[in-house]
Chains A and B, each alone.
Chain A
Amino acid sequence: TSIHIKNLPQFVGKVQFALFDTHSQASKKLLVATEKNIFASLNSRTGDLFWRHVDKTGPDGHINTLMMHGQDAVVVVGNGRLLRSWETTVGGLNWETVLDTGSFQSAAYIGVQDVVRYVAVLKKSAISLHYLSSGHQKWVENLPESDTVQYQTVYSGGNGQVFVLGVVPNSHIVIVEYNIEDGEIMKQKSVAAPWLSSLQSSCVMVGSGVLLCADPTTKSLYTFPLQSADQTTMTPILLEVAAGFQPVLISTQPHPARPPLSEFFLQLGPDYHILLHLIALLFSPSKIAAVMSPKNETVSILFILSNSDPFHLHTYSVIRANGSNASVINLYSADTGRRLLDTTIIYSMDPNGGKPAKLYIHTFLKKDDSVGYRVLVQTEDLVLTFLQQPGMVVWSREEALADVVTMEMVDLPLTGTQAELEGEFGKKADGLLPMVLKRLSSQFILLQAWMSHLWKLFYDARKPRSHVKNEVTFETLSRDEFNLQKMMVMVTASGKLFGIDSKSGTVLWKQYLENIQPNSVFKLMVQRTTAHFPHPPQCTLLVKDKDTGLGSLYVFNPIFGKKSHISVPALPRPILQSLLLPLMDQDYSKVLLLIDDQYKVTAFPSTKNVLQQLQEMASSIFFYLVDSSQGRLSGFRLRKDLSTELIWEVVIPTEVQKIVGVKGKRANEHVHSQGRVMGDRSVLYKYLNPNLLAVVTESTDSHQERSFVGIFLIDGVTGRIVHEAVQRKARRPVHFVHSENWVVYVYWNTKSRRNEFSVLELFEGMELYNSTVFSSLDRPRPPQVLQQSYIFPSPISTLEATLTEKGITSRHLLVGLPSGAIVSLPKMFLDPRRPEVASDQSREENLIPYSPEMPIRTEWFINYNQTVSRVRGIYTAPSGLESTCLVVAYGLDIYQTRVYPSKQFDVLKDDYDYVLISSVLLGLFFATMISKRLAEVKLLNRAWR
């Protein structure tokens, strides 16, 4: 009964390198390397993944460069640590070579007599040459004067030389030629270039061995022939460079074993490019082949391409943002600068999406010798779109979903007809008669809807299950009987919001928020649920810049993704804390309080009603702030004028330990049972403090004997430290869950070198202090704290607890493992009351005898073979059924399922025999009727006798 979202593909993230397989015309392969350290092959017809290799996160797995030749792709990984060759059809590894340390500069294929034989890798102080067939190192040589010269480029014209180009900024260029056979330095020369600071930003290789550099100050082009004499030519640029614009040179080398083309682009302004042609004679001035200076349109990107080499076709393409939501891609002939006929693609962009950011083009000759091409567009909101002539979108992928930051699940609304009906009642009526008519008509609509529903049920029941089409659109979107289908609102790191149907995984709406800083922190809050018709549900996203703390609010309808027209308060000061109060406005939206760096409070919504309620409640509204850089936790109380006062302060010295995380309890969590029934029938009451915070710290001393993890349980209202424990010889990664009356945390044991789980449970004791209401201000006795630890046989990526409607169902912990599996671990195994030796009482209580090792049973894996790579978070939501908890695991992939921690105790089984039970019931009913009648007759007869 687990559902993996089928419509959501496996993701790869933001594309850094993309290559078309030009090996054969019919090839469907598209290779991508992404910022998520993923190397993958896409099917260019469908957009599906052929294969995907997920490397380590962080700089160790970073893909520095991707090159393709024939069937094989060469990849440099981890700042030049590894050189790999992949077979691209099935994604198998041909070979892998570990390279010497040194920061990676560039890599290039080296061809000899039209055949690519080697790959050269240039590091900061060395160059190495490897056989393309095996990866074996042919030679490695140290670069001369590598402490002063910045070597940046390696170049081979295809005829057996290897040039390494370096620069001493603002002084000279160094050109070193190596012998391809033994790595001996053949020639070494330096050319004065006092205006040059970096080769990569201002120089390109053009034609057969000519280095071309642009100097923005003198507005000149310099040509350096690599091979012959050390003469240089300076050619002034004929055209004006736009103010403040650094001229950019773009050239291309279609075949690695041959020299680059002699045509190149010179970009002189954001929308001004000229195509120049370097005439074969080295020292003659360049000839202008074509000038591109469109006056009324904006050229966003300009891209040169040239392949289909036998025909020697040079084309270049331009994408223009035409208006705001359409782009035009054109193909131009490099010889004449004219636009090629029938090559225009008009591509209308998603109005809720971003602008195109990168373009990858593949051209080919059609059978009638005309030019055809395909385009892969990556937009700012990380949509990969594959276009084909004429303007057809073949597929598109939402790669932003590879980086989900936070999410919420929102109940779907009632059916459309019901909703509309209630809408009628929501409006003010005109008089008695219209109201009666309205009522009658609405009743009639209800009846109609019910009939059609019945008909549909009957109709569907006759069809085999697989034939029932369940396409999800906004029209069919409605709550099911048990509220199992919900809307998943996902916030991604790129600032794109998604509304995804949890049943099918269809993306129902998406919205790109522009101007989001890349290091923003998002907090998503459901201010109004779907329960308050006719008011639409309302979600609020708080976007906060990590560095400045300045925030902004985005209010939207989570079902349709539309931006709300409600006026949002301006937030001129950095936001420290936000809290959603259980108070409601007249229109049932919960009150959001935002606390700025001057401890002033902004309420949203801030209507009169809300402000009045806040004034009344002010003395009972408390909040806390955490400043982990100073180790300071402080508590505040709201005043009537929406200012605040400091009421408590706890400072954990940062010299000893630093705060890793602070977690309260989830607001929508219910606890059904106040206590635990013990073996002797007495009750041990739980300490259920809704204001309790779990603070986890880590020692600054990372020595394996002295490192520790600290756990503080602090009351968020009074600042009272309820419990303080130290886990010795422990270190991060620390993950923890805080729920009900327990805290579970995972840490790395530095001494035993293993992952361990520890559970803390808090109890009030055998009697409850105040059973009617909990107040942090009136709990004089500290709780009893029990703790136990266990060995967990696997590292952990993330931790979450299940959540159900009423909290009757027993709890499970959901553990995301680095392998991509998700384990549903019964909380029963994490119980500090597990006895050392089983006694009758503990058996009565169903306590499992203590064993230090936590088992992982295969049936606990809830996602079977559907692994979630790099699982980042697990979201749990209750459903309408008490037994069922909805689980969404997100990371690189997204996985949604249901879990039943106490089995499906409130659901009849599929094979439940309705016929038998109803026939027995009917039979019994008739039997009683008949026997009653018979008994009457008998009584009558007896009376007559």
Chain B
Amino acid sequence: MAPLSSSFIAIVFVNIVGFYTQYGDCNNGRRVPETIESDLTGFSVPLEHSFEVDDVPRFWVRGNIQLKAGRENNVFLSQAMLSEKDRSVLKDVAAVDGLYRIRIPRVSLQADRQTDRQLEGYLTAFVRACSLVESHLSDVITLHTDVSGFVIGVSIVTMPGACRGAEVEDEVDLEVFNTTISVMAPVNAPAPETALFIERMEQEMDKKGKPQEQKSFFAKYWYLILGGAVFLMATSSAQPPAGGGREQS
């Protein structure tokens, strides 16, 4: 019985750790890149974007996503500034409520798979151009991977996300992207928590069981008996003591 329960506890421990780290991941899963390192052992993929007044996508390079293979999926984005022409086009697209699109090629984040074979096609996402303009080019790009490290989707949102029709006067605001990029892997869904439940049940059983067994009649009601005895003693001082003695037995 004993080794069995200890193994249960071990499972419980692993589960708790697993669960809470996942929880943390899902809420604040974004890892903001640290300072850009010069030597990268990983690889890079181009991040392309497109914004056209006629809404026919023509993608060109916006920057490079540098991915560091390894346990921690470190990801950085190095990107150029928007040229003056691009800025005016972007403003024009925003004015007609066009779309700002981005795309990345399909890749695997695991370095060993890189050489295996090239996946075809791109993953695309979009935001409304006006929200990008109004947020002064502050966007959040997330790469989603599956269990084996393939990038399955990319998403882009701007902060704030709304289009309120606010005019962006200062051209400087549209020069530099203020991008937060991160990689999100799937979280592990929890399995039924049997071990923890059994442990809790046992604890409850212990709590319930012990006092009932140990507390004897006298332990429970000693104050009543004592009080009664004192009372009897006090009342019997006037009476002959024989009656009081019989009652106590």
Contact = CB atoms under 8 A, between A and B. Distances in A.
A727 B189 contact: yes
B193 interface: yes
Given A756-B191, A777-B161, A647 B124 contact: yes
Interface stretch (A100-108, A470-478, A786-794): A786-794
B82 interface: no
B99 interface: yes
A459 B146 CA distance: 69
Contact of A791 (B122, B147, B192): B192
B152 interface: yes
A724 B184 contact: yes
A673 B174 CA distance: 41
Given A648-B125, A720-B155, A837-B200, A725 B191 contact: no
A728 interface: yes
A652 B126 contact: no
A758 B160 contact: no
B97 A726 contact: no
B159 A780 contact: yes
A363 interface: no
A723 B101 CA distance: 21
Interface string A699-720: 0000000001011001000111
Given A721-B153, A724-B184, A789-B192, A649 B99 contact: no
Contacts of A653: 119, 146, 148, 150, 152
B26 interface: yes
A10 B70 CA distance: 61
B124 A648 contact: yes
Given A756-B191, A778-B162, A780-B159, A645 B125 contact: no
Q: Which of A714, A758, A778 neighbours the largest number of chain B CB atoms within 10 Å of its CB?
A: A778
* B interface: dominant SS: mixed
A720 B157 contact: yes
Given A720-B155, A784-B27, A777 B189 contact: no
B209 interface: no
B55 interface: yes
Contacts of B9: none
Contacts of A645: 55
B187 A647 contact: no
A792 B8 CA distance: 21
B192 A651 contact: no
B197 interface: yes
A650 B189 CA distance: 21
Given A656-B150, A724-B184, A719 B155 contact: yes
Nearest to A792: B192
Contacts of A853: 192
Contact of A647 (B99, B142, B193): B99
B121 interface: yes
Contacts of A785: 26
Interface string A363-399: 0000000000000000000000000000000000000
Given A710-B146, A778-B161, A647 B188 contact: no
A850 interface: yes
A764 to B, nearest CB: 13
Contact of A649 (B122, B148, B184): B122
Contacts of A788: 190
A851 to B, nearest CB: 6
* A interface: dominant SS: strand
A111 to B, nearest CB: 60
Nearest to A711: B189
Interface in B13-59: 26-27, 55
Interface string A760-788: 00000000001000000111100011011
B131 interface: yes
Given A791-B192, A836-B196, A648 B162 contact: no
B196 A778 contact: no
A789 B124 CA distance: 33
Interface string A562-586: 0000000000000000000000000
A718 B152 CA distance: 15
A646 interface: yes
B66 interface: no
Range of interface residues on chain B? Answer: 35 or more
B128 interface: yes
A423 interface: no
Interface in A643-698: 645-653, 656-657
Contacts of A721: 142, 144, 152-153, 155, 184
A619 interface: yes
A718 B126 contact: yes
A770 B163 CA distance: 13
A708 B146 CA distance: 12
A850 B193 contact: yes
A729 B191 CA distance: 10
Contact of A852 (B55, B106, B184, B197): B197
A724 B146 CA distance: 8
Contact of B157 (A727, A780, A836): A780
Nearest to A757: B192
B189 A758 contact: yes
Interface string B164-190: 000000000000000000001111111
Nearest to B152: A652
Given A721-B153, A780-B159, A789 B189 contact: yes
B188 A651 contact: no
A749 interface: yes
Nearest to A650: B153
A720 B126 CA distance: 9
B181 to A, nearest CB: 15
Nearest to B29: A782
A711 B193 CA distance: 20
B141 to A, nearest CB: 11
A619 B148 CA distance: 36
Given A656-B148, A724-B187, A779-B161, A651 B123 contact: yes
A320 B53 CA distance: 69
B192 A756 contact: yes
Nearest to A754: B192
A723 B26 contact: yes
A708 B55 contact: no
Contacts of B142: 721
Interface in A778-815: 778-780, 784-785, 787-791
A646 B146 CA distance: 23
Contacts of B121: 649, 651
Nearest to B147: A726
Contacts of A651: 106, 119, 121, 123, 152-153
Contacts of A777: 127-128, 131, 161
Contact of B126 (A648, A725, A729, A779): A648
B140 interface: yes
B200 A836 contact: yes
Contacts of A708: 147
Q: Which of A711, A725, A758 neighbours the largest number of chain B CB atoms within 10 Å of its CB?
A: A725
Nearest to B108: A653
A780 B161 contact: yes
A853 B128 CA distance: 46
Q: Which of B152, B159, B188, B200 neighbours the largest number of chain A CB atoms within 10 Å of its CB?
A: B152
Given A651-B106, A652-B152, A725 B192 contact: no
Contacts of A647: 99, 101, 124, 126
A853 B185 CA distance: 29
A893 to B, nearest CB: 33
A725 B97 contact: no
11 contacts: A619-B97, A650-B123, A651-B106, A651-B121, A708-B147, A710-B147, A719-B155, A721-B155, A770-B162, A785-B26, A852-B193
5 A-B pairs with the lowest CB-CB distances in the bound complex, closest first = A650-B153, A852-B192, A720-B155, A780-B161, A778-B161
Given A653-B119, A710-B146, A721-B155, 14 more contacts: A646-B124, A650-B153, A653-B152, A719-B153, A725-B186, A726-B189, A756-B192, A777-B131, A779-B161, A780-B158, A784-B26, A787-B190, A789-B192, A791-B194
